């Protein structure tokens, strides 16, 4: 009786730990060593770009997706699987905005590879049609222009700073004259 009671106590205490371990495992994105090796050969910092892309950096997302043009065959499919598994971690319209700027052939390649990658992934949620769980990405892959509302939100907080490399012309930093009430210009 005591051993049964102890077993139940242990089960109750350990079950939250087991559930948490399963959740962490489900968040993993599969990265293939053969693709990383090919990226090194191509002088592409795969893991650096992967980590930046996963964190939501728009340039890195686009760069990571465009790496599909470098790899082919099995490695192309493996990289596409990594891209597919990364998509749920990213903001859909952010990904779509990056894809919108790609050439039509790149979009077509990416679309076909992502669809093939759906057959390789072990994540059940990604087996559904892409347009169900990433509608903006789907539109961009099919040639529709998508603007990134998330990007506009991010830019909104940075309007006071000028972009790097932008020079201010002399006199451009002056404030505009005050508004007037009459045609004669009196305030």
For the ranges 55-69, 156-170, 173-187, the maximum mean pLDDT occurs at 55-69
Place 169 in a pLDDT band, splitting at 50, 70 and 90. very low
Phi then psi for residue 77, to 5 deg, are: -70, -40
Cα distance between residue 34 and residue 36, in whole Å: 5
Domain spans of the chain, in order of start: 16-156
Handedness of CA 66, 69, 71, 77 (dihedral sign): positive
| Per-residue model confidence (pLDDT) at position 151 | 54
Cα distance between residue 65 and residue 99, in whole Å: 8
| Per-residue model confidence (pLDDT) at position 164 | 38
- pLDDT tens digit sequence for 13-46: 444 433 332 222 335 899 999 999 999 999 999 9
Across 42-52, average pLDDT: 98
- pLDDT tens digit sequence for 112-147: 999 999 999 999 999 999 999 999 999 999 998 877
Cα distance between residue 48 and residue 54, in whole Å: 10
| Contact present, 71 and 116 (Cβ < 8 Å) | no
Mean pLDDT of the chain: 77
Phi-psi category of 165—alpha, beta or left, where left has phi over 0 and alpha has psi -120 to 50?
Answer: left
User: What secondary structure letter does DSSP report for 174?
Assistant: S
Cα distance between residue 57 and residue 154, in whole Å: 11
């Amino acid at each position: 009786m005591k051993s049964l009671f102890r077993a139940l106590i242990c089960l109750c205490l350990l079950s939250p730990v087991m559930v948490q371990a399963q959740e962490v495992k489900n968040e993993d994105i599969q990265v293939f060593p053969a693709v990383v090796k090919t990226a090194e050969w191509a002088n592409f910092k795969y893991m650096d770009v992967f980590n930046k892309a996963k964190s939501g950096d728009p340039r890195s997302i686009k760069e990571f997706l465009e790496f599909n043009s470098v790899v082919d065959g099995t490695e192309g499919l493996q990289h596409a699987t990594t891209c597919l598994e990364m998509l749920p971690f990213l903001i859909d319209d952010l990904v779509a905005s990056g894809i919108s700027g790609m050439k039509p052939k790149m979009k077509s390649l990416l679309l076909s590879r992502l669809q093939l990658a759906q057959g390789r992934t072990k994540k059940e949620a990604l087996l559904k049609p892409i347009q169900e769980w990433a509608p903006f990405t789907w539109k961009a892959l099919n040639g529709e222009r998508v603007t990134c509302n998330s990007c506009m939100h991010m830019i909104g907080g940075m309007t006071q700073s000028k972009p790097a490399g932008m020079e201010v012309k002399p006199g451009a930093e002056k404030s505009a004259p005050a508004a007037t009430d009459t045609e004669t210009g009196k305030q």
